[in-house]
Structure 1
Amino acid sequence: MTDEIPITALKGLTDQEVEERVQQGFVNHTNNQTGKSVKEIIMSNLLTYFNLIFFIIAILLIYVGSYRNLTFLPIIIGNIMIGIVQELRAKQILDKMNIVNAPHSLVLRNGAQQQIVSEDLVKDDIILLSAGNQICADAVVIEGKVQVNEALLTGEADEIEKVSENKLLSGSFVVSGQCYAKLEHVGDDSYISKLTAEAKIAGSGEQSEMIRSINQLVKWIGIIIIPIGALLFYQGYFLSQETMQKSIISMVAALIGMIPEGLYLLTTIALALSTMRLAKRNILLHDMKSIETLARVDVLCVDKTGTITETRMQVEEFLPSQTYHGILNTEEELTQLFVDYSFAIQDDNATIHAIKEYTKTFGKNKETRIPLTITPFTSTTKYSGVVFKEGSFILGAPEFVMREDYELIVPEIGSYIKTGHRVLVLGKYEGDDIASELTKKVIPLGFVILSNPIRKNAKETFSYFKEQGVTVKVISGDNPETVSEVARCAGIDNAHKFIDASTLDTESKLVSALEEYTVFGRVTPKQKQKLVQALQKNGHTVAMTGDGVNDILAMKDADCSVAMASGSEAATQAAQVVLLDSDFAHMPDVVLEGRQVVNNVQRSAVLFLVKNIFSLLLSLFSVVFMFTYPLEPSQISLISMFTIGIPGFLLAMEPNKKRIEGHFLKNVMIKALPAGLTDVLAVGALVFCGEVFSLPKNDIATASTLLLAVVGFIILTKISAPFNRIKYGIIIINILGLAFCGIFLHRLYAISEMSKVCIVLLIVFSFAAESLFRYLSLGIETLDSFFLKVIHKKNDINK
Structure 2
Amino acid sequence: MKKQFMSENRMPEEKRILRGLSKEEVEERFIEGFVNKTDISTEKSAKEIVKSNVFTYFNFIFLVITILLCVVGSFRNLTFLPIIIGNTLIGIIQELRAKKVLDKMSLLNAPHAIVIRDGEQKKILSEQLVKDDVILLTAGTQICADAVVLEGTIQVNESLLTGEADEIEKTPGSRLMSGSFVVSGECYARLEKVGKHSYISRLTAEAKAMGNEEQSEMIRSINQLVKWIGIVIIPIGIILFWQGYIVNGETFQKSIVSMVAAIIGMIPEGLYLLTTIALALGTMRLAKRHVLLHDMKSIEALARVDVLCVDKTGTITEAGMEVAKIVPAKDAENTFLQSLLRDYASAVPDNNATMEAIRDYLERKGKDKDRDSDTDNDSNKDKTAEVQTFMAARRKALEVMPFTSATKYSGVVFEDGKYLLGAPEFVMGNAFEEIADEIREYTKKGYRVLLLAKYPGSDIKGTLTEKPEPLGYVILSNPIRENAKKTFGYFKTQGVAVKVISGDNPETVSEVARCAGIEHAEKYVDAGTLDTDEKIYDAADRYTVFGRVTPKQKQKLVHALQDAGHTVAMTGDGVNDILAMKDADCSVAMASGSEAAAQAAQVVLLDSDFAHMPDVVSEGRQVVNNVQRSASLFLVKNIFSLLMAIFAVVSTITYPLEPAQISLISMFTIGAPGFLLALEPNRNRIEGRFLRKVLLKAFPAGLTDVLIVGSLVVCGEVFSIPASDVATASTMLLCVVGFMILIKISHPMNKFKYGILIFNIAGLLFCGICLNQLFAMSQMSKISILLMIVFAFAAESLFRYLTIGVEGIAKFISSRAHRGAPQK
Report the equivalent of 2:550. Answer: 524
**Paired residue type of 1:455:** R
Give distance in 2, aligned partners of 1:249 and 1:463.
Answer: 58
**Paired residue type of 1:338:** L
**Which of 190, 195, 210 pairs up with 2:203?**
195
Report the equivalent of 2:82. Answer: 74
**Which of 782, 806, 813 pairs up with 1:787?**
813
State the Cα distance separating 1:12 from its structure 2 match.
0.6
Match of 1:311, SS? coil
**Paired residue type of 2:112:** H
Report the equivalent of 1:212. Answer: 220
Match of 2:432, SS? helix
State the Cα distance separating 1:331 from its structure 2 match.
3.0
Report the equivalent of 1:83. Answer: 91
**Paired residue type of 1:13:** L
Report the equivalent of 2:349. Answer: 346
1:393-424 deviations in whole A, cap 9, x for unaligned? 11000000001111111121110011000000
1:686-711 deviations in whole A, cap 9, x for unaligned? 00000000111111111111111111
CA contact (8 A) 1:340 1:366 kept: no
**Which of 319, 339, 345 pairs up with 1:336?**
339
**Which of 354, 362, 365 pairs up with 2:366?**
362
Report the equivalent of 1:464. Answer: 490
Asked whether 1:47 is paired with 2:51, we answer no
Give distance in 1, aligned partners of 2:251 and 2:174.
Answer: 78
State the Cα distance separating 1:261 from its structure 2 match.
0.4
1:17-49 deviations in whole A, cap 9, x for unaligned? 111111111111121223211001111111111
Match of 1:773, SS? helix
Report the equivalent of 1:574. Answer: 600
**Paired residue type of 2:444:** K
CA contact (8 A) 2:2 2:356 kept: no
Q: Give runs of aligned pairs for residues 602-617 of structure 1, distance below 5 A.
A: 602-617=628-643
Report the equivalent of 2:700. Answer: 674
**Which of 380, 385, 404 pairs up with 2:430?**
404
Give distance in 2, aligned partners of 1:679 and 1:322.
Answer: 85
Asked whether 1:285 is paired with 2:311, we answer no
Sort the Cα spacing of 1:367 and 1:191 in 2 relative to 1 into closer, same or farther, 3 A: farther
**Which of 307, 318, 321 pairs up with 2:315?**
307
Match of 1:348, SS? coil
**Paired residue type of 1:359:** L
Match of 2:420, SS? strand
**Paired residue type of 2:549:** V
Report the equivalent of 1:625. Answer: 651
Give distance in 1, aligned partners of 2:796 and 2:223.
Answer: 31
CA contact (8 A) 2:302 2:586 kept: yes
State the Cα distance separating 1:367 from its structure 2 match.
5.4
Q: Give runs of aligned pairs for residues 429-440 of structure 1, distance below 5 A.
A: 429-440=455-466
Report the equivalent of 1:327. Answer: none
**Paired residue type of 2:185:** G
Give distance in 1, aligned partners of 2:193 and 2:521.
Answer: 48
Report the equivalent of 1:183. Answer: 191
1:240-265 deviations in whole A, cap 9, x for unaligned? 11111111111100000000001011
CA contact (8 A) 1:34 1:286 kept: no
**Paired residue type of 1:715:** I
**Paired residue type of 1:350:** A
State the Cα distance separating 1:719 from its structure 2 match.
0.7
**Which of 740, 743, 750 pairs up with 1:714?**
740
Gaps of 5+ in 2: 371-390
**Which of 498, 519, 524 pairs up with 1:493?**
519
Give distance in 2, aligned partners of 1:698 and 1:759.
Answer: 13
1:122-145 deviations in whole A, cap 9, x for unaligned? 111110101100011111111111
Report the equivalent of 2:616. Answer: 590
Give distance in 1, aligned partners of 2:239 and 2:701.
Answer: 25
**Paired residue type of 2:100:** Q
Asked whether 1:116 is paired with 2:120, we answer no
**Which of 744, 750, 754 pairs up with 1:724?**
750
**Paired residue type of 2:466:** K
Give distance in 2, aligned partners of 1:251 and 1:323.
Answer: 95
1:428-476 deviations in whole A, cap 9, x for unaligned? 1112221222222211101000011001100111111011111111100
Match of 1:372, SS? strand
**Paired residue type of 2:634:** F
Q: Give the stretch that moved more between structures: 157-166 or 273-282.
A: 157-166
Number of residue pairs aligned between Structure 1 and Structure 2: 793
Give distance in 1, aligned partners of 2:693 and 2:789.
Answer: 31
State the Cα distance separating 1:771 from its structure 2 match.
0.6
**Paired residue type of 2:231:** I
CA contact (8 A) 2:309 2:570 kept: yes
Give distance in 2, aligned partners of 1:750 and 1:161.
Answer: 77
**Which of 143, 163, 171 pairs up with 1:135?**
143
TM-score with structure 1 setting the length: 0.98
CA RMSD of aligned residues (A): 1.1
Sort the Cα spacing of 1:367 and 1:733 in 2 relative to 1 into closer, same or farther, 3 A: farther
**Which of 554, 557, 564 pairs up with 2:590?**
564
TM-score with structure 2 setting the length: 0.95
Give distance in 2, aligned partners of 1:785 and 1:152.
Answer: 44
Match of 1:566, SS? coil
Give distance in 2, aligned partners of 1:475 and 1:113.
Answer: 37
CA contact (8 A) 2:403 2:409 kept: yes
CA contact (8 A) 1:26 1:187 kept: yes
Identity of aligned residues (%): 68
